[in-house]
Each structure stands twice: as structure tokens, then as C-alpha cells.
């Protein structure tokens, strides 16, 4: 699966991008028809500690799943988003089987 990582207003280091690709590619275990995915990383200009925004969009045939998380670190945000997507993909797979 192709994973597109876009960092808005900053440059993501290689380690972060590899971490994201590894986590998102792990979603294929839950649903094998994933076309591709896009990950958007943004830093909000606020005084709050939780100023890292992570948007993960997954394209599956006939559907698109989007999860947005706000955390202290990008790694934490990606892990929470991937966990949420695992649940969504499992539900989607069960619906397809039920038909």
C-alpha cells in the first residue's frame, strides 16, 4: 500500500515518516483491499501542549475513512488514529462478509 505523508509548515524527519509508514501499513492485516492512505501532520500555533494534529485518510473501494487526532506528539497521534482505523476496518470487513 502506498502511504503519502505530508507535513504542513514544517519538515518531518526520516524516522517519523518511517514510523508512520510502518504503523499505517500494518492496517492491511485488518482489511486487504486498502488502495492507499494519506497522513497529514500539522502543528497548531497555540500555547497548549497538545498542539500536534494528525489526519489519517484511508481509501478503500467505494469508501474513504478519515480519522483526526490531536496529541502532544505525532507518534502518539498516529498510534491513536491507527487504533481507531483498525476498529473501523474490522467493522467494514464484517459488513462486507454479512452481504
Kindly report, residue by residue over 22-76, the tens digit of the pLDDT. Answer: 999 999 999 988 999 999 999 988 778 889 999 999 999 888 999 999 999 999 9
Cell, residue 16: 517519523
**pLDDT for the residue numbered 92:** 86
What DSSP line would sit under 38-82, residue for residue?
EEEEEE--SSSS--EEEEEEEEETTEEEEEEEEESSHHHHHHHHH
The Cα 97–Cα 95 span in angstroms is 5
The Cα 76–Cα 49 span in angstroms is 13
Residue 99 reports pLDDT greater than 80: no
Average pLDDT, the chain: 93
Kindly report, residue by residue over 11-21, the tens digit of the pLDDT. Answer: 999 999 999 99
**pLDDT for the residue numbered 9:** 86
Going along the chain from its start, the domains and CATH numbers come out as 2-98 (3.30.160.100)
**Cα→Cα distances 3→11, 32, 98, Å:** 17, 15, 29
Kindly report, residue by residue over 63-91, the tens digit of the pLDDT. Answer: 899 999 999 999 999 999 999 999 999 99
87/97: higher pLDDT: 87
Amino acid at each position: 500500500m502506498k502511504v503519502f505523508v505530508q507535513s504542513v509548515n514544517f519538515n518531518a524527519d526520516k524516522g517519523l515518516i518511517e514510523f508512520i509508514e510502518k504503523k499505517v501499513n500494518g492496517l492491511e492485516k485488518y482489511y486487504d483491499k486498502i488502495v492507499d492512505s494519506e497522513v497529514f501532520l500539522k502543528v497548531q500555533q497555540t500555547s497548549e501542549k497538545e498542539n500536534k494534529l494528525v489526519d489519517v485518510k484511508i481509501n478503500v473501494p467505494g469508501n474513504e475513512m478519515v480519522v483526526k487526532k490531536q496529541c502532544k506528539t505525532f507518534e502518539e497521534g498516529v498510534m491513536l488514529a491507527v487504533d481507531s482505523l483498525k476498529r473501523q476496518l474490522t467493522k467494514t470487513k464484517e459488513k462486507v462478509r454479512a452481504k
